[in-house]
Amino acid sequence: MSGHQPSEANRELGTLENLDIVRKNPDLEDKRSQVFGGRFEAVRFRVPADCTPHFTEGTPPKERMLKEVETTMTNELTSFNKLAGADYPHQLRIVIANFSVDYPQAQVYIPSTNEVFYVLLHDPDNPLVDACLKHRGYAVGQQYNKRAVKTLRDRIVKYGIAREITLRGG
């Protein structure tokens, strides 16, 4: 890179910051004021070493929501067996992605088929849909993108809540 030397702080980190490279551009001040509308300050962003997500603990509302997710998935997969020719076993292990009660949706992973479903818990942007979900149960969709399934699967398995469900009519 045309003989650019990293700053002392960057040498310690073993990286080059884009700012070090851009500083050599004579138009930097003009462009900076256009973009940021005034003074510019560079600050170092620090990410905590522990990035473990924190979820609502086992409160009564969360336990009701978990039970409703189980019931919703039981009904959905029973329906798939009866109406869509699916062949889910009578006893089925599912893993519900851990969530907080204010999350709009939860994902459900089925290890035996490597499928990920999402369950709409509530819709804070649409009171009518939210009221319908509370009255009639949760809506379910399926994730078909293989890359998304792999990413979600890994997170769900790591932080999820395993449950056994029994499908009807099996």
Do residues 26 and 72 share a domain?
A: no
Domain that holds residue 116: 60-166
Is position 55 within any domain?
Answer: no
- DSSP code of residue 92: E
Do residues 26 and 106 share a domain?
A: no
Is position 38 within any domain?
Answer: yes
Do residues 118 and 35 share a domain?
A: no
Number of separate domains in the chain: 2
24 versus 78: which is more confidently predicted? 78
Residue 15 has pLDDT above 50, yes or no: no
Do residues 42 and 66 share a domain?
A: no
Do residues 89 and 19 share a domain?
A: no
Is position 52 within any domain?
Answer: no
- DSSP code of residue 117: E
Do residues 41 and 69 share a domain?
A: no
Residue 119, C-beta contacts closer than 8 angstroms, at least 6 positions apart: 69, 72, 73, 105, 106, 107, 108, 138, 139, 140
Do residues 22 and 88 share a domain?
A: no
Residue 152: how many other CB atoms lie within 10 Å: 19
Give per-residue pLDDT as tens, 40-93.
Answer: 678 887 777 777 788 888 899 899 899 999 999 999 999 999 998 899 999 999
pTM: 0.67
Do residues 77 and 161 share a domain?
A: yes
Residue 122, C-beta contacts closer than 8 angstroms, at least 6 positions apart: 104, 130, 133, 134
Do residues 42 and 74 share a domain?
A: no
Distance, CA of 11 to CA of 39 (rounded, Å): 26
